[in-house]
Amino acid sequence: MRNARNVAIIMLLALAVAFMPGGSNAVDTIFTAMIMAFLAGISWMLYVLSRQNQLTLATLRDSRRAMLYGALGLIALLIAGSDKLFSTGGGTLLWIVLLAAAVAAIWKVWTEANTHSF
């Protein structure tokens, strides 16, 4: 019975969005709020990770720390500019290549930070 009630609520909301004037604006607003919450969650996760790994980050060489922060900044810019980059085929390819480069840089810093060379 509870599941039927939940499905009915979702159907009523869908009808309201589909047939009420300005329904698409409401969907855009809700979608934007969900994206902002998702990005805020990612930001919080990065903050917590940086606090938990403060010693590891402090012991990185300056060049590796710059590589790590640059890669994280590149990922942030890729998220921000994804609409523009995905509008063309070349932009999509560039987005994929830059994301792969950022992930490779983060992987390189992480592996060097976790290997012990004596």
3-state secondary structure of 59: helix
The verdict on 65 and 49 lying in the same domain is no
What is the model's pLDDT at position 75? Answer: 93
Pair 47, 68 in one domain? no
Q: Is residue 6 part of a domain?
A: no
Q: Output the CA torsion 27→30→31→34 (10° steps).
A: -160
102 and 76 both lie in a single domain: yes
Residue 42 is predicted with a pLDDT of 87
Residue 33: inside a domain? yes
Side-chain-facing half-sphere of 42: CA atoms under 13 Å: 10
Domain of residue 76: give its range: 60-118
Model pTM score = 0.68
Q: Both 67 and 46 in a single domain?
A: no
pLDDT at position 32: 87
* Residue 44: pLDDT band with limits 50, 70, 90: very high
pLDDT (tens digit per residue) in 90-107: 999 999 999 999 999 999
Residues in the chain: 118
The total number of structural domains in the chain stands at 2
Note whether residue 88 is domain-resident: yes
Say if residue 68 is in the same domain as residue 117: yes
